[in-house]
Amino acid sequence: MMETRIERVLLQLIAPVVAIFFAALLAAAILHFTGADAGSVLGEVVAFGTTPASLVAVVNKATTFYLAGIAGAIGFRMLLFNIGIDGQYRLAVFFAAVVGASVSLPPVLHVTLIIVVAMAVGAGWAALAGYIKVTRGVSEVISTIMLNAVATGIIAYLLAPGRLAERAAGSNNIRTTPIPSSGWFPGFEVAGKEVFGFTLVAAALGIGFWILLNRTRFGFELRASGLSLRAAAVSGVNSKRMIFVTMVMSGAMAGLVGIPQLLGSSHQYGLDFPAGFGFTGLAIAILGRNHPLGVAFGALLWAWLERSSQILDLLGVSREIVTIMQATIVLSVVVAYEVVRRVNVRRQQKLVGRSEHVGIESGATA
Amino acid sequence: MRVLLALLLLSAVADIANTPDLLSRGAVSASLRFAVPIVLAGLGGLWAERCGVINIGLEGMMIIGTWMGAWAGFQWSPWVGVLAAVAGGAVFGAFHALMTVSFGVDQAVSGIAINVAALGLGRFLSSIFFEGQVGGGISQSPHVGQIANVSVPGLAEVLDPIATLETPVISDIAEIVIGVTTGVSLLTILAAALVFLSWWVLFRTSFGLRLRACGENPAAADSLGVNPNRMRYAALTVSGALAGLGGAFLVTVASSIYREGQVAGRGFIGLATVIFGNWMPGRLTIGALLFGFTDALRTRQETTMTALLIVGAVVFAFLTVRAVRARNRGATFAYAIAAVGLGWWFLGFGVVPSEFVGFAPHLTTLLVLSLAHQRIRPPQGIGVPYRRSEAN
């Protein structure tokens, strides 16, 4: 009402700041309790986390987290919990690696093919969950958890010497055949370290997500359904179709999660490929309020915490404290948003009350 | 009747596929051992959802249960461990209530955060309390004593001759009875009692009626003088305690150690059994036993798993016939493909790769949920936060 735009943005920013502060305070308290010097540990962590090498690693890792976060956010916008991001992404990157290694194409086409395969596999795997939700009413929370386990089994079966993988020379790692260099995505150098080129694609996808949500009819229907499925249905939105399409889109995005790593540095899928980004993606989406910019912020924060925590083991502190901190941030940010919302409601009620009061008075004098 | 049919089918399959282990006493008692943590997690989910709150945090609460059970168990006694696990689970259940009821946090978000936090907490606390102890480390605890087993005296001796007779169904029944009555952990008996107790409290007491009312229509319950927020605190505390007990079972019965990753998604499967059991304790338990059965087969002989291919083929054939009668063309098609596919697999390959066996329980869940979902009725107020001042 009398609220300026700046005021609104500030109100939105209070919550994450308070949450991070609270989580840091809790971590410090735990450190103190376990007998470590919280101040010096924090100093070391910040010092390590701000070296150029760390920052590049943070950006690379954040790219992966960002894609997972956007995948989560797409679902959240439709009130869907895509817990299957983890399975979708692993299956997608595995098949992308296999297909990428088995063809020889000119550079741009090769990379495109790998990306398309990854998106298709991720979308297909998510479509299963979407399909049984729409036709049989099975909650996507349960079905995607189950599909994660099935994906794990399928990969475990196919990722074996003699099937679609081979034993890497001189190590215990079992991996797919490396993708030839025509299927690599070139990075760029910052401070002597290579940043994934796919970071730019991820940023573009974030912008695309924003445009889709805010500037297209589909986005409007998506947001409307997310606010009230029933109201949207009454105004002619086919909610079943929306649920299915959203799930597929979320899955396609989830399929890309492993791509920066695959095209940028690993060039193969092996037992050592990072896994378990599913919950990370959801947490980051929550932290970023499903907004592309917020999710970017959340991804960077997450990546920074994970990177700088690596120094903790050297300092004699278990780095799992960061996991606890991350969970604390997610919870306290949501609590803080809720508190801000309640304060806001009260403030607006007061404002409305005052203006009505004024209205009655002016009406009486007229 | 259905149970008898299932028994006949399994018994016949055990003969045809020549896998006597399918219904041996070992398999039965192993199934029971695998089923109990899932039953307890399922009951936890039931208590929460009957009161209108989804508890995705069950997994995390079980992890806390395993850790607390091991921590108290290795220092004092396994029973103290069980108590500590229940207390730890209850605290996290109450925390879930604090988040969802008092702070209005989305129920799934709070649950996910609890799962993430529990993983981190388990490792972090292990690094403080278990590292440096004999056999302990960042990912596992020192040795924990086990809860005692009991048997019905004399019964095994009486039934043993019948079981070894190898008369088709009768011997199998004898084997099952022996499996259920010999070497049963006291915690298993406690779990069985809790299934009954949950049913009695939820469906035969006024407290249970009020609790369920808050799961169906909190505003209506509120208008009749039941405080839904307080009820949800109570329900979630019980829910967490049950999940914690499930964790304690993993530490003090299924193994004798806390190990990272030990819970392995059982909390989620417990959540699935709630739906599978249509939010009723008895049917939920049957679902959990089914999971326990597939889980147990996995750890035994690989050939035994093959026998399940036939079971699957027969079940799908039955469903096909039923779908034909109901003139449901889509379902007929799907079931027929599944039946032929499984039969062909059994005849053509005869083996199930061990990697596939790993997700058999999950695939079963998925199939059962998508095939048997018509008559399911969840509590109406589930997942919806309730704010007293904003009710309408």
Best to test chain A binding among B49, B271, B362 (most A CBs inside 10 Å): B362
A324–B117 C-beta distance less than 8 A: yes
Is residue A320 less than 8 Å (CB to CB) from chain B? yes
User: Between chains, do B116 and A283 touch, taking CB under 8 Å as contact?
Assistant: yes
Q: How far apart are CA A179 and CA B49, in angstroms?
A: 48
Contact A146 B365 (CB under 8 A): yes
Q: Do B119 and A146 touch (CB under 8 A)?
A: no
A317 within 8 A of A36, measured Cβ to Cβ = yes
Per-residue confidence (pLDDT) for residue A100, from 0 to 100: 86
Which residues of chain A have a CB within 8 Å of the CB of B115?
Answer: 279
Q: How many angstroms separate the CA of residue A131 from the nearest CA in chain B?
A: 10
Contact state of A324 with B128 under an 8 Å Cβ cutoff: no
Which chain B residue's Cα is nearest to A157?
A: B355
- Is A150 within 8 Å of chain B by CB? yes
User: Mutating which of A138, A302, A329 best tests the B interface, going by the most B Cβ atoms within 10 A?
Assistant: A138
| Single pTM value for the model | 0.84
Lowest mean pLDDT among A4-13, A292-301, B60-69, B212-221: A4-13
CB contact under 8 A, B105 and A282: no
Give the one of A136, A149, A331 whose C-beta lies nearest to B373's C-beta. Answer: A136
AA identity, residue A27: A
Residue closest to B291 by CA, chosen among B258, B257, B246: B246
How far is Cα A357 from Cα A362, in angstroms, rounded to an integer? 9
According to DSSP, the residues that pair with B150 across neighbouring strands are B184
Instruction: Report the C-alpha dihedral over residues B250, B254, B257, B259, rounded to 10 degrees.
Output: -60
| CATH 1.10.3470, domain A61-305, yes or no | yes
User: What pLDDT sits at residue A183?
Assistant: 75
Residues of B within 8 A of A327 (CB-CB) are: 113-114, 116-117, 120
Q: Considering only CB atoms, which chain B residues are within 8 Å of A322?
A: 120
Band (A1; pLDDT cuts 50, 70, 90): very low
Residue B199: CA atoms inside 13 Å, Cβ hemisphere, count?
Answer: 12
Query: Cα distance from A196 to chain B (closest Cα, Å)?
Result: 28
Residues of A in contact with B124 (CB under 8 A): 30, 318, 320-321, 323-324
Domain limits of chain A? 61-305
Which candidate from A136, A156, A324 shows the least CB-CB separation from B120?
A324
The three-state secondary structure class of A235 is coil
Q: What value does the mean pLDDT of chain A take?
A: 83
Residue B381 lies in a domain: no
Locate the chain B residue with the closest alpha carbon to A131: B370
Q: Do the domain assignments include residue B133?
A: yes
* Domain carrying residue B230: 25-300
- Give contacts of B371 with chain A, Cβ < 8 Å: 136
Locus of tokens 């936060």: B385
| Total domain count, chain B | 1
Note whether residue B336 is domain-resident.
no
Q: What is the mean pLDDT of residues B330-336?
A: 76
Say if residue A3's pLDDT is above 90.
no
Residues of B in contact with A164 (CB under 8 A): none
CATH number of the domain encompassing residue B72: 1.10.3470
- Angstroms from B193 CA to nearest CA on chain A: 27
Contact A147, B366 (CB under 8 A): yes
Cross-chain Cβ contact B103/A328 below 8 Å: no
CA distances from A208 to A68, A71, A112, A120 (A): 15, 13, 18, 18
Which of B8-12, B13-17, B141-145, B215-219 has the highest mean predicted lDDT (pLDDT)? B215-219
Is A136 an 8 Å CB contact of chain B? yes
A355 shares contact with chain B (CB less than 8 Å): no
Q: Residue A343 — pLDDT band, cuts 50, 70, 90?
A: confident
| Winning range, highest mean pLDDT, from A347-356, B120-129, B332-341 | B120-129
Nearest to A300 by CA among A320, A338, A273, A329: A329
Phi-psi region of B210 (alpha: psi -120 to 50; beta: other; left: phi over 0): alpha
A136 contacts B369? CB cut-off 8 A: yes
Quick: pLDDT tens for B126-168: 888 887 777 777 778 888 878 877 777 777 777 777 666 666 6
Judged against a pLDDT cut of 80, whether residue B94 lies above it is answered with yes
B115 and B41 Cβ atoms separated by less than 8 Å = no
The pLDDT of residue A125 is above 90: yes
Predicted confidence at residue A102, as pLDDT, reads 85
Residue B206 in domain: yes
Q: What is the DSSP track for A264-330?
A: III-S-BTTS----HHHHHHHHHHTTT-HHHHHHHHHHHHHHHHHGGGGGGGTS-TTHHHHHHHHHH
| Cβ-based contacts of B291 with chain A (< 8 Å) | none
Q: Is A149 on the interface with B (CB under 8 A)?
A: yes
pLDDT at residue B358 is higher than 80: no
The yes-or-no verdict on residue A333 having pLDDT over 60 is yes
Whether residues B120 and A335 touch (CB distance < 8 A) is answered with: no
Angle, alpha carbons A164-A168-A169 (nearest 5°): 140
B-facing residues of A in 30-59 (CB < 8 A) are 30, 34
Looking at chain A, the number of H-run helices and the number of E-run strands are: 14, 4
pLDDT for B20: 62
CB contact under 8 A, A149 and B362: yes
Distance CA A67, CA A261 (A): 12
Total count of residues recorded for chain A: 366
Q: A81 contacts in B (CB within 8 Å)? A: 108
Arithmetic mean of pLDDT, B37-43: 94
| CB-based contact, A323 to chain B, within 8 Å | yes
Q: B340 in a domain, yes or no?
A: no
pLDDT per residue as tens digits for the range B303-322: 666 777 777 778 788 878 87
DSSP symbols for B205-246: SHHHHHHHHHHH-HHHHHHTT--HHHHHHHHHHHHHHHHHHH
For the cut 50, the answer to whether the pLDDT of residue A364 exceeds it is no
- Confidence at residue B392, expressed as pLDDT on a 0 to 100 scale: 41
With CA atoms as reference, the chain A residue closest to B116 would be A327
Is residue B307 domain-resident?
A: no
- Asked, for residue B204, whether it belongs to a domain, the answer is yes
Q: How far is CA B143 from the centre of its chain?
A: 25
Which of B162, B164, B169 has the alpha carbon at shortest distance from B8? B169
Using an 8 Å CB-CB cutoff, list chain A residues near B116.
Answer: 279, 283, 323, 326-327, 330
Could you report the per-residue pLDDT of A15-50, keeping only the tens digit for each? 788 888 888 888 888 888 877 777 788 888 888 888
| Shortest CA gap A153–chain B (Å) | 5
d(CA B40, CA B289): 11
CB pair distance less than 8 Å for A331 and B105? yes
- Which of B60 and B144 is assigned the larger pLDDT? B60
pLDDT greater at residue B31 or residue B237: B237
pLDDT of residue A295: 92
Select the residue of B56, B355, B371 nearest A156 (Cβ to Cβ): B355
Q: What pLDDT, on a 0 to 100 scale, did the predictor assign at position A4? A: 66
Q: How far is B370 from chain A (nearest CA, A)?
A: 6
A163-196 tens-digit pLDDT: 777 777 777 777 888 888 877 777 777 777 788 8
The answer to whether the Cβ–Cβ distance between A335 and B99 falls below 8 Å is: yes
B123, pLDDT greater than 90? no
Q: Which residue of A has its CA nearest to B54?
A: A141
Question: Mean per-residue pLDDT for B238-246?
Answer: 95
Confidence of residue B238 (pLDDT cuts 50, 70, 90): very high
Whether the predicted pLDDT of A248 surpasses 90: yes
Residue A120 has pLDDT above 90, yes or no: yes
Q: How confident is the model at residue B375 (pLDDT cuts 50, 70, 90)?
A: low
CB burial of B374-384 (b: ≥16 within 10 Å; e: otherwise) equals eeeebbebbbe
